[in-house]
């Protein structure tokens, strides 16, 4: 149980730090007259992520899960996803946010991992949502939230892409 608690605290601390960064970026972007798109979708994402952590903990306790025999590989996958996430965040600079914020004249970023893939941060999130529960043999959580996250990201990417297209043209 201790490895699970330590892992969840570590990941939650990362998320809190990311929210602080996102808030700082939001302040800068709002000064550039950025507008927020899809507040309702953002709220759902916040709830989904909170439920994800609660689900891991609940499944681990209720079904008496244990650490996977493949935990080293899964942790390596998780850490690789974190590397991709932070490369994406640093490549976007002030334009990275947990919300969809579009400033007038917003330009598409094509440096860092964006040279190779359109949505590296979302790939990192999807990888994390699959890998973290599997470290602790939480198969139900991994399956359910991978599906939910795919639907959420499909919707968010569509909305984000439309908003960016409108701001560029």
Contact at 8 Å (CB) between 48 and 149? Answer: yes
Helix axes 2-31, 120-135, angle to 10 degrees: 160
Extents of the domains making up the chain: 2-168
Q: What is the CA radius of gyration of the chain?
A: 17
CATH number of 2-168: 1.20.120.1630
Compute the distance between CA of residue 128 and CA of residue 142 in angstroms, rounded to an integer: 9
Question: What's the rounded mean pLDDT across residues 130-134?
Answer: 98
pTM exceeds cut of 0.85? yes
**Bridge partners for 35 per DSSP:** 102
Closest C-alpha among 92, 88, 87, 85 to residue 29: 92
Count of other CB atoms within 10 angstroms of residue 109: 15
Amino acid 106: pLDDT: 81
On the question of pLDDT at 107 being above 90, the answer is no
On the question of pLDDT at 7 being above 80, the answer is yes
Question: What's the rounded mean pLDDT across residues 53-62?
Answer: 98
Amino acid 13: pLDDT: 97
* pLDDT band at residue 169 under the 50/70/90 scheme: low
């Amino acid at each position: 149980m201790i490895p699970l608690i330590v892992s969840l605290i570590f990941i939650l601390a990362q998320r809190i730090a990311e929210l602080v960064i996102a808030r700082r970026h939001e302040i800068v972007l709002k000064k550039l007259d950025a507008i927020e798109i899809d507040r309702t979708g953002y709220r759902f994402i916040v709830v989904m992520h909170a439920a994800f952590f609660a689900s891991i903990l609940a499944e681990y306790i209720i079904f008496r899960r244990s650490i996977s025999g493949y935990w080293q590989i899964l942790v390596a996958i998780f850490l690789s996803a974190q590397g991709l996430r932070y490369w994406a965040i640093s490549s976007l600079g002030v334009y990275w946010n947990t919300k969809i914020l579009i400033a007038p004249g917003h330009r598409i970023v094509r440096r860092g991992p964006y040279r190779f893939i359109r949505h590296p941060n979302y790939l990192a999130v999807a990888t994390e949502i699959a890998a973290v529960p599997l470290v602790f043999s939480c198969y139900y959580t991994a399956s359910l939230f991978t599906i939910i996250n795919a639907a959420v990201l499909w919707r968010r990417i569509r909305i984000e892409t439309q908003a960016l297209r409108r701001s560029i043209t």
